[in-house]
Amino acid sequence: MTHAKQDSSKKHRMLWILGLIVAAFCLIVAGDALINKLGSSTEEALPDSDRRALHELSIYTAAENDGDQAWKGISVTDHPILVMSKESGYSYLVNPETPVRSLFATNITMRDNPGGLDVHRLSRLYPRLWGIKALGGSFNTIGETTTVLGNDVYYLRFDDSNLNADYSSEHFIAFLAHESFHYYGQNHWPASSRFLEELRDDDYRLMSDKLALLDEVRAVTDAESPDEDRLRELATQLVALEEQRLAANPAYVSAEQGMETIEGTAEYMGMAAADSVGYDYGVMYFDNTKDVPFADVLPMYRAGKLGEGFLRDRLPYETGAQLALLAHELDPDGGWQDYLNEQSLEQPRTLIGALEHVLAG
């Protein structure tokens, strides 16, 4: 009996302590929600990086709304967005489609707001976001649905590095536009993946020819008044060269073209978003330099100055982005985008195919 009473007393004490811990934690969560609710709700009071991220999103939204939509019918700004700061711990529900009524949310007054964003700051300890903060990635992936306060959102987590680094593909607005295009624009496209096929000497020669053509394309498109006839000539040469490459090494080139299409179009979206906010980001930009010639790639690679996987893992982002920019120059009305939008898992299409479509039009 004595032992039973002692065990019962110990169990009761442990439950009591556990109850105190739970109660204390609930008080902390409630207190954090109260601080968020009663704290300053003006844009000026936000942490600097949070304010800058929201301001970029507002500028980009205004550009998209003013008819300057980078991709026909596809924009992350058409959907609720959840901007999550790793630095401050706050999250911001932007442009919700259903009314927001929650102890954990407060509306933010945005004075410098060209895009007319409707912004709600969520408390740092909002329970719904614990899983994302602890185990989630930096953004939604295809097939993943995240619902916050009744809104299916696209979320992006960021920190100061997403706003302060030069020439970065992960600059906040470029990163958001790139990754969200995978989610909203490519959910019915065949997925690309890293590939392991090898290149032979003839493949390197043909790739060198392709990279030289892309340097010419870049020089013409960067001119104050691009020569459309010359661009059509270069596009025709690129299409013919890709046919040669595909015949010589179908496994490598077909995988490369798939990745060029998926990642190149997403890069195109990121570059358009960066341009809308005045951030310097373009083709062949890297963390420590920009405007690297395509022609430099193979000599540096074969000299061991680039990582073993560079040609497979990074170069298709750059070549694909340049092909997308070329398609845009030749077809600014977006027929090339319609061509790509009409693909399916069973009938994939590529940027090279889009160029052929434009040239035939």
Strand partners, 120: 93, 107
Q: CA separation (Å) from 209 to 33, 49, 234, 333?
A: 60, 44, 12, 29
pLDDT band at 361; cut points 50, 70, 90? confident
| Sequence-separated (6 or more) residues with CB below 8 Å from residue 302 | 204
Q: Which residues contact 22 (CB under 8 A, 6 or more apart)?
A: none
pLDDT of residue 67: 76
Report how far residue 235's alpha carbon sits from residue 233's, in angstroms, rounded to the nearest whole number: 5
Number of helices (H), then strands (E), belonging to the chain: the values are: 13, 6
Residue 63 Cα distances to 55, 161, 298, angstroms: 13, 24, 38
What would the pLDDT profile of 75-117 be if each residue is shown by its tens digit? 999 999 999 999 999 999 999 999 999 999 999 999 999 999 9
Q: How far from the centroid of its chain's Cα atoms is residue 214's Cα?
A: 24
Q: 290: exposed, middle or buried (C-beta count within 10 Å: 0-12, 13-18, 19+)?
A: middle
How many C-beta atoms surround the C-beta of residue 254 within 10 A?
Answer: 16
Chain centroid offset of residue 313 CA: 16
> CA 342, 176, 39, 36 torsion: positive or negative?
positive
For 284-334, write each residue's pLDDT tens digit: 999 889 999 999 999 999 999 999 899 999 999 999 999 999 999 999 999
3-class SS of residue 10: helix
